[in-house]
């Protein structure tokens, strides 16, 4: 009788483990729909079947929860970025002016002109950017559909590659689910064996 209890426990563990293993596999497989002719049933892995819905949902979540307009504005509209923009504006305009100035102008006078114009550019650019940067960034960001970009990126992923990414991120947790299925199956098999022994 003890051997029967052990056998039932091991059978329960095997069934529990295999059931969870199969359920995890069915999240991704089969990649393409498989149709059973006689009963007309068609089945496909959860992720491949609902890929577009999942991609759209992730895209909306990223746009609404992870990359809000206010957060993007906060990261882009900083003093460091202001200085970077002003420096590049100043450098670009002064390069053009330097090229356009007649070559007969002495270098000392040329330098004075460039320094004077550079100071004006820096002062005016600083004031202009401080007043308009929020509007510029907001208008720029609003032209980009973050949700659509994320959705398209996910939909462009090869399904096998997408499966690999998901498994690499959650492989350990999924393995624990398989083991837990085996453990629960073992416990259920053990109880069944004990019940049969004491009440049969």
Average pLDDT over residues 127-141: 77
The CA distances from residue 112 to 100, 105, 121, in Å, are: 15, 11, 14
Which of the two residues, 10 and 77, has the higher pLDDT score? 10
pLDDT in tens, 7-59: 888 888 899 999 998 988 888 888 888 887 777 778 788 888 888 888 888 88
For the question of whether the overall pTM of this predicted structure is more than 0.75, the answer is no
Average pLDDT over residues 62-83: 75
What pLDDT shows up at residue 69? 65
What pLDDT shows up at residue 1? 60
Q: pLDDT grade, residue 147 (50/70/90)?
A: confident
CA distance 132 to 140: 12
pLDDT in tens, 167-183: 788 878 888 988 999 89
What pLDDT shows up at residue 18? 92
Contact 154, 55 (CB under 8 A): yes
Q: pLDDT grade, residue 200 (50/70/90)?
A: low
Tell me the residue range of the domain where 185 lies: 2-199
Helix (H, G, I), strand (E, B) or coil at 41: strand
Contact 55, 150 (CB under 8 A): yes
The answer, yes or no, to whether residue 135 has pLDDT greater than 70, is yes
Average pLDDT over residues 72-93: 81
Neighbours of 160 (CB within 10 A): 10
What pLDDT shows up at residue 68? 67
- Pairing verdict, β 34-36 and 41-43: antiparallel
Q: Find residue 41's DSSP bridge partners.
A: 36
Number of domain units in the chain: 1
CA distance 149 to 146: 5
Average pLDDT over residues 77-96: 85
Average pLDDT over residues 134-149: 76
The number of CA neighbours under 13 Å toward the Cβ of 66 is: 10
The percent of residues above 90 in pLDDT, for the chain, comes to: 4
Q: What is the mean pLDDT of the chain?
A: 82
Average pLDDT over residues 139-155: 78
Phi and psi at 185, nearest 5°, equal: -60, -40
Closest CA to 12 of 200, 198, 199, 195: 195
């Amino acid at each position: 009788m003890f051997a029967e209890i052990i056998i039932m426990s091991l059978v329960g563990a095997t069934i529990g483990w295999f059931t969870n293993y199969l359920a995890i596999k069915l999240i991704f497989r089969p990649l393409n729909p498989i149709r059973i002719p006689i009963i007309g049933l068609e089945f496909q892995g959860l992720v491949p079947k609902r890929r577009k819905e999942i991609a759209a949902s992730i895209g909306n979540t990223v746009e609404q929860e992870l990359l809000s307009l206010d957060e993007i504005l906060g990261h882009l509209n900083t003093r460091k970025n202001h200085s970077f923009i002003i420096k590049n504006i100043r450098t670009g305009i002064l390069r053009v002016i330097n090229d356009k100035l007649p070559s007969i102008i002495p270098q000392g006078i040329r330098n004075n002109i460039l320094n004077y114009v550079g100071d004006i550019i820096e002062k005016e650019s600083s004031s202009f950017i401080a007043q308009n940067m929020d509007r510029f960034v907001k208008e720029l960001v609003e032209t980009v559909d973050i949700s659509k970009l994320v959705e398209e990126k996910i939909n462009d992923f090869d399904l096998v590659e997408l499966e690999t990414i998901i498994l690499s991120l959650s492989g350990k947790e999924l393995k624990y689910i398989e083991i837990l299925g085996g453990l629960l199956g073992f416990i259920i098999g053990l109880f069944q064996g004990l019940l049969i022994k004491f009440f049969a």
